[in-house]
Amino acid sequence: MNGRHPLFMPLIFVGGLIFGFGLGFSHMARPEVVLNFLQFEDFGLLFVMGGAAVVTGLAFALVPRLRDRAPLTGDTYGRRLKSFDRNVLIGGSIFGVGWGLSGICPGAAYASLGVGNVTILWAIAGMFAGAYLQGIWRSRRARQETTPAGAD
């Protein structure tokens, strides 16, 4: 916590609050609504992701031109850029099967808990288990690649 601006945590909380309220208001926190979209019964969900991306797109394009550094961290304003490799396709496909089966993704799952949907704890437990399993697998594989001959 040393060196963090006193408003850092409150601001993160307020951002999460607005984010979660939006997920509740849009009904994206309801798996049924996501499934209705994926099954072509209600295309409204396009406006949730589209609307959100337009707002962040404007901010990410404009803010770095107006200011150099973020007031609470002193960090320079950048964009969210990640390198491309086949993991994006593999992981995206696994994510897609899970999303299409359950109608739930991480942010929406947290918000679903907030609207009272305790049943969603099944999905959250699954997500933690999945994140844990891939961590184990990938760590083991990375170790095998660096020490090929009979490592543990």
Partner 1 sequence: MGPELFTPTLYETLFPAGISRYAVGGLLVGLGAVVIYLGTGIAAGASTFLESTLSYVSELERFQQYRASRDWRIVFTLGIVAGAFVYALTFQSGLVSSGLYQPGTTGQLREVGGVTLWLTDVQPWRLLLGGLLVGIGTRIGKGCTSGHGVCGVGSASKTSIIGVITFLLVAIVTAQIVMALQVTP
Q: What binding mask, one character per residue, do residues 14-33 give for partner 1 by CB under 8 A, x or -?
A: xxxxxxxxxxxxxxxxxxxx
Residue position matching structure tokens 């184990």: 136
Residue 13 is a binding residue for partner 1 (CB under 8 A)? yes
Q: What binding mask, one character per residue, do residues 55-74 give for partner 1 by CB under 8 A, x or -?
A: xxx-xx--x-----xxxxx-
Judged by DSSP in three states, 69 sits in strand
> Per-residue b/e over 25-50, b at no fewer than 16 CB within 10 Å?
ebbbbbbebbbbbeeeeeeebeebee
Residue 151 is a binding residue for partner 1 (CB under 8 A)? no
Residue 147 is a binding residue for partner 1 (CB under 8 A)? no
CA 150: distance to chain centroid? 37
The dihedral through the CA atoms of 114, 59, 75, 4 has a sign that is negative
Which of 3, 133, 150, 152 binds partner 1 (CB under 8 A)? It is: 133
- 132 vs 144, beta carbon nearer partner 1: 132
- Nearest approach, Cβ of 64 to partner 1 (angstroms)? 9
Which of 93, 144, 147, 151 binds partner 1 (CB under 8 A)? It is: 93
- 43 vs 149, beta carbon nearer partner 1: 43
Q: What is the DSSP string of 71-104?
A: TTT-PBP--------HHHHHHHHHHHHHHHHH--
Which of 3, 6, 94, 150 binds partner 1 (CB under 8 A)? It is: 94
